[in-house]
Amino acid sequence: MRNIIVISGPSGCGKSTLIAMLLAEFPELQFSVSHTTRPPRPAEADGRDYHFVSEARFERMARAGQFAEWAEVHGHRYGTSWSEIRAKSGRGHTLVLDIDSQGALAIKHQFPEAMAIFVVPPTLAALKKRLLLRQGKLDREARRRLAAALKELRTYELYDYLVVNDELASALSDLSCLYVAFCRQTARSNDDVKKLLRRKK
Ligand code: 5GP
């Protein structure tokens, strides 16, 4: 059984910040470093945030079946490699995937035991404000991201849980609770009971 948590949410919902905080709180969590053809942003590091690869390399990997899922998002390709899943979702580790709804659907299909969480903004006005802050102005890119965010919001029913990111601390607390509940699922936490039963014989 794989330990996989998918976290999605429209651009500007604060998902990346929440994921970083969750990873800091639970050291056993591992972040899934996706491959992407998007160029790195100034603060991003290759191998930490993404594996930044050329179109040709991505294409070769996709053809060779090296991705558990991949999708085109905002004009670039993004994919989760099988090697990330195999290396980081085994015993004692839980893999956190920050992927879009196309990826979430594919992962849930292959790993029904995965937990899928959708982070949503409290209001449309808050989402617009965050997108504006990120882009500086409501230019073409911000408008495109807003349209994509609305499309992404409509996919909410794919997910097992919704977290409203109104206040960061409370959204993080919701996420932490969901993670603890995930770990306590009978199938994931039955080792101690099994030991007890063995001793009884
Ligand atoms: P950004 O370019 O802002 O880092 O990410 C854009 C979108 O791509 C985000 O919604 C992010 O969740 C999604 N994404 C990142 N990695 C993957 C991936 O491996 N697969 C899929 N399907 N989406 C991804």
Asked whether 87 and 14 are in contact (CB, 8 A), the reply is no
Q: pTM of the predicted model, to two decimals? A: 0.93
Ligand 1 atom 10: the closest Cα is on which residue? 100
Ligand 1 atom 22: the closest Cα is on which residue? 103
pLDDT at res. 200 = 64
Ligand 1 pocket, residue 38 CB under 6 Å: yes
Ligand 1: residue of 51, 99, 118 to mutate (most ligand atoms within 8 A of CB) is 99
CATH domain 4-32+93-198 topology: Rossmann fold (3.40.50)
Q: Give me the DSSP letters along 45-61.
A: -BTTTEEE--HHHHHHH
Ligand 1 pocket, residue 81 CB under 6 Å: no
Asked whether 8 and 105 are in contact (CB, 8 A), the reply is no
pLDDT in tens, 57-84: 999 999 999 999 999 998 899 999 999 9
Ligand 1 pocket, residue 98 CB under 6 Å: yes
- Indicate whether 135 pLDDT > 70: no
Domain boundaries, the chain: 4-32+93-198
pLDDT at res. 201 = 60
Q: Which distant-in-sequence residues (6+ apart) come within 8 Å of 188 by Cβ?
A: 1, 3, 182
Instruction: Look up residue 201 and give its two tokens.
Output: 């014989």
Q: Give me the DSSP letters along 19-40.
A: HHHHHHH-TTEEE--EEESSPP
In the chain, the amino acid numbered 142 is A
For the chain, give the mean pLDDT: 92
